[in-house]
Amino acid sequence: MTIRYNVLNLPDTIQFGNGRQIINSYDAGGHKLTTQYYTPIGTVIVTQGNIHGSYTTANSVLRLDDYCGSYLYENGTSASVHPLTKILTPEGYIYMSTSGYPYCYYKQDHLGSNREVTSYEVQQVPWCNRRNTILRVPLTWKEREQVFSLSSSRARS
């Protein structure tokens, strides 16, 4: 595996020995804009320390991920086909799926390393007048405890 860095000391190109390649692009502030994943069609062997030349759609399969602030558009096959898959937050992310929108929280250890990712999905908010309303607001752990203790006290009354 060979990693090439840009002028901001961020990984620009990651080249694997089997020919697969990951190319990242960043803005001037160092925020990631896109990630391109190339999988070659056929056998390609790249020796360590070298980076394969440019790939095209004729000799490889391309998958794109676009980053727009905290919104992540994954699994794109072209510049126009990018479904929104995640909304990133400081405490985790909201996973956009067809079955719902679970909020995934990072549980961290005392050093700040992620040790566990737990997901929680709110199906219906009890104090809303509309039916089938989904709460899609990212909450901190403390806010989440306050909301759900409030909803359980309202359910009792």
Q: Are residues 66 and 23 in the same domain?
A: yes
Q: Are residues 16 and 55 in the same domain?
A: yes
Q: Are residues 55 and 92 in the same domain?
A: no
pLDDT tens per residue, range 79-128: 566 788 888 888 888 888 777 778 888 888 888 888 888 877 655 444 44
Q: Are residues 64 and 102 in the same domain?
A: no
Q: How many domains does the chain have?
A: 2
Using DSSP's 3-state secondary structure scheme, residue 34 falls into strand
Q: Are residues 76 and 93 in the same domain?
A: no
User: What is the pTM for the complete model shown?
Assistant: 0.63
Using DSSP's 3-state secondary structure scheme, residue 29 falls into coil
pLDDT of residue 79: 59
**In whole angstroms, what is the distance from residue 16 CA to residue 4 CA?**
12
Q: Which residue has the higher pLDDT, 126 or 34?
A: 34
- Of 43, 64, 82, which residue sits at a domain end? 82
Start-to-end C-alpha separation, the chain: 62
Contact status, residue 134 vs residue 123, Cβ threshold 8 Å? yes
Is beta strand 103-108 parallel, antiparallel or unpaired with respect to 2-5? unpaired
- Of 50, 82, 114, which residue sits at a domain end? 82
Q: Are residues 20 and 75 in the same domain?
A: yes
Domain that holds residue 78: 2-82
Tell me which residue of 82, 103, 93, 2 sits closest to 35, measured CA to CA. Answer: 82
Q: Are residues 93 and 48 in the same domain?
A: no
**In whole angstroms, what is the distance from residue 17 CA to residue 47 CA?**
6
